A = this chain, B = another copy of it.
Amino acid sequence: MSSERLIYLPLGGAGEIGMNAYVYGYGKPNAERLIVVDMGVAFPDMDGSPGVDLILPDITWLQERRDRIEAVFVTHAHEDHVGAVAHTYERLGAPIYARAFTANIARRKMAEHGHPEDAVHTVSPWPETVSAGPFQVSFLPISHSIPESSAMVIDTPEGRVIHSGDFKLDETPLVGEAFDPELWAEVSKDGVKALICDSTNVFSQHPGRSEASVGPEITKLVQSAQGMVVATTFASNVARVKTLADAGVRAGRSIVLMGRAMRRMIEASAETGVLQDFPSVVSPEEAKSIPRENLMLLVTGSQGERRAASAQLARGKYQGMEMKEGDLFLFSSKTIPGNEKGVIRIINAFSELGVDVVDDSSGLYHVSGHANRPDLERLSEIVNPQVVIPMHGEHRHLREHVKIAEQNGRTGVLAVNGMMVDLSGNKPKIAEYVETGRTYLDGTVQIGALDGVVRDRIRMALNGHVVVTLIVDEDDEPLGDPWCELKGLPETGRSKASLVDVLEADLGQWLGRADPKTMRDDDRLNEGLRRVVRQTSQDEIGKKPEVSVIVSRLS
């Protein structure tokens, strides 16, 4: 029992898309030295997390073992992998390692939060190695929709483990390193204990397409456009931004970058040398003197975000630019599930302006950054691991990925967030179940997803809110009538009388009949008043509001 073990523990990303956070450990049980791979965020929505700014993994488990954490490694600079590094830095207190581009983005985040930028260390790709306690860790380049995405090669006393990060198998990615099957074979040749592998596109049956395939189509589209062309994609998809810009230049257009993320990503790419021949751009100010048929705007907001450049252009002017009848808007992106309504809102707003919108429904103007089923199988074949552990996916993705591994004669392990896998020896096993969850960044405060704060907000959104105020005098008698404040409720209901009047009358009646025992007991009084409000509301308006009761005692 006291021998050392190698563990894998997902705290986020296994059972969901987004919020990636994985832990590896080696040592005696409950004394393992730990490393963390990725510390990402998820994005809130009105359905489940209204008003929340960001969703972070619950790192309580790590925080309680803070003295055992050697390092945090970040595979790439997407928000769902790097977004929480600054928010969790103080609680983890561990150095952060990443390749140059990712480190550049991570340092910007650290600076914004007043944390030391030099906590982020830049690492060169394989074969450079970082020693982190019992682990030797390297960044093995792999293609993805952002520069310098890397798999982590983690050498442990139990053997080599490869954590794929997000990836696709692109041998012509235009920006950044191509997938190099020979390098991967070389790294894997002495045996790989486990491949912990991206699963998001496991249901896509065809081999993924290369970034290089979209350039010619985008060029054709832009060349045939008559008016101004505006295109959006994820700003971090630097290769795509370049493809779009190159297409614009080929069509004799000046390029304008709009939106903070767009400028920041191109800046980071230039600073770190991953992007060397980006066309020169003009400012929105300069663009005003250029005929619109000679302009191409590259803008943020491919997911319909309300404050991004594309949404602002759809609503009217943005930085002096305005779309008009005959212009073209291109979504060189796919809509992430949940964002459909925002994207459709923008398309309709453009439609009202007479702007033609082209999206990725033709499949010509966007390719995914993730490995499809045949690509996953190909990587497994090259790496030939003893065990495949699917990560980054909902339960259905992980389950399907395990099935594929098993169909190909490998051992697959389905481990969702909180399931600690013991990888020691010959047979992986679930060692422990760890409590995991989500932490909400709400304004400047971090709150637990289950603290009830957001639950109360959702209830007020669904049911409205009634506040009952009652003053009780020294003799435990009501001082005057109780009064109600309503928010988010109709003014009148069935009886056509003001709802607040009906409520106050019924509350008054109930108080008139309340016995002294009730009047002395805050809990009873609260409960009684609450019940009157809910019952009367049900009669009047057919719904039961949230109720807060404030009893103020003069005694």
A contact residues vs B (CB 8 Å cutoff): 15, 45-47, 50-51, 203, 337-338, 340-341, 344, 347-348, 350-352, 357, 361, 394-396, 399, 442-445, 447, 451, 453-454, 456-458, 460-465, 467, 469, 471, 483, 485, 487-490, 492-494, 541-543, 546, 548, 550, 552
Q: A337-B341, A456-B487, A485-B467 are in contact. Are A445 and B396 (CB under 8 A)?
A: no
Within the assembled complex, what's the spacing in Å between the Cα atoms of A445 and B492? 8
CB-CB under 8 A from A357, the residues of chain B are: 396
**Contact among B348, B453, B462 for A50, CB-based, below 8 A:** B462
Within the assembled complex, what's the spacing in Å between the Cα atoms of A348 and B51? 26
Q: Are B550 and A483 in contact (CB under 8 A)?
A: yes
- CB nearest to A361 among chain B residues: B203
- CB nearest to A550 among chain B residues: B485
**Contact among B399, B453, B483 for A552, CB-based, below 8 A:** B483
**20 pairs from A and B in contact (CB 8 Å cutoff):** A46-B50, A51-B462, A51-B488, A338-B340, A340-B340, A348-B394, A351-B396, A357-B396, A442-B490, A443-B493, A443-B542, A444-B542, A445-B490, A445-B494, A447-B490, A453-B489, A467-B550, A471-B471, A471-B552, A483-B552
- CB nearest to A51 among chain B residues: B462
The 10 A-B residue pairs with the shortest CB-CB distance in the complex, in nearest-first order: A443-B542, A444-B542, A443-B543, A461-B461, A457-B488, A50-B461, A51-B462, A351-B396, A460-B460, A456-B488
**Contact among B203, B340, B460 for A465, CB-based, below 8 A:** B460
Within the assembled complex, what's the spacing in Å between the Cα atoms of A465 and B45? 19
**Contact among B338, B351, B453, B483 for A399, CB-based, below 8 A:** B351
Q: Are B445 and A465 in contact (CB under 8 A)?
A: no
**Contact among B347, B399, B457 for A464, CB-based, below 8 A:** B457
CB-CB under 8 A from A351, the residues of chain B are: 394-396, 399
* Nearest CB on B from A221, distance (A): 17
Q: Are B51 and A461 in contact (CB under 8 A)?
A: yes
Q: Assuming A51-B463, A344-B394, what are 10 further A-B pairs, CB within 8 angstroms?
A: A15-B348, A46-B46, A47-B341, A337-B344, A348-B395, A351-B399, A442-B490, A444-B541, A460-B460, A467-B485
Within the assembled complex, what's the spacing in Å between the Cα atoms of A295 and B347? 45
Within the assembled complex, what's the spacing in Å between the Cα atoms of A347 and B488? 34
Within the assembled complex, what's the spacing in Å between the Cα atoms of A460 and B456? 9
**Contact among B45, B361, B541, B546 for A487, CB-based, below 8 A:** B546
* Nearest CB on B from A533, distance (A): 14
CB-CB under 8 A from A396, the residues of chain B are: 347-348, 350-351, 357
CB-CB under 8 A from A348, the residues of chain B are: 15, 394-396
Q: Are B487 and A548 in contact (CB under 8 A)?
A: yes
CB-CB under 8 A from A457, the residues of chain B are: 460-462, 464, 487-488
CB-CB under 8 A from A338, the residues of chain B are: 340-341
- CB nearest to A338 among chain B residues: B341
Within the assembled complex, what's the spacing in Å between the Cα atoms of A344 and B357? 28
Q: A50-B462, A347-B396, A461-B458 are in contact. Are A548 and B444 (CB under 8 A)?
A: no
- CB nearest to A362 among chain B residues: B205
* Nearest CB on B from A442, distance (A): 6
- CB nearest to A403 among chain B residues: B356
CB-CB under 8 A from A352, the residues of chain B are: 395
Within the assembled complex, what's the spacing in Å between the Cα atoms of A443 and B337? 30
Q: Are B542 and A488 in contact (CB under 8 A)?
A: no
Q: Are A548 and B461 in contact (CB under 8 A)?
A: no
Within the assembled complex, what's the spacing in Å between the Cα atoms of A463 and B53? 11
Within the assembled complex, what's the spacing in Å between the Cα atoms of A338 and B342? 10
CB-CB under 8 A from A453, the residues of chain B are: 464, 488-490
**Contact among B340, B460, B489 for A461, CB-based, below 8 A:** B460
Within the assembled complex, what's the spacing in Å between the Cα atoms of A310 and B464? 29
Q: Are A51 and B543 in contact (CB under 8 A)?
A: yes
CB-CB under 8 A from A464, the residues of chain B are: 51, 453, 456-457
User: Which of A465, A469, A546, A550 is most buried by chain B, counting CB atoms within 10 A of its CB?
Assistant: A465
Q: Are A488 and B469 in contact (CB under 8 A)?
A: no
CB-CB under 8 A from A463, the residues of chain B are: 51
CB-CB under 8 A from A469, the residues of chain B are: 469, 550, 552
* Nearest CB on B from A403, distance (A): 9
Within the assembled complex, what's the spacing in Å between the Cα atoms of A347 and B352? 37
CB-CB under 8 A from A350, the residues of chain B are: 396
Within the assembled complex, what's the spacing in Å between the Cα atoms of A394 and B340? 14
CB-CB under 8 A from A340, the residues of chain B are: 337-338, 340
Within the assembled complex, what's the spacing in Å between the Cα atoms of A548 and B469? 12
Within the assembled complex, what's the spacing in Å between the Cα atoms of A15 and B352? 10
- CB nearest to A354 among chain B residues: B399
* Nearest CB on B from A543, distance (A): 3
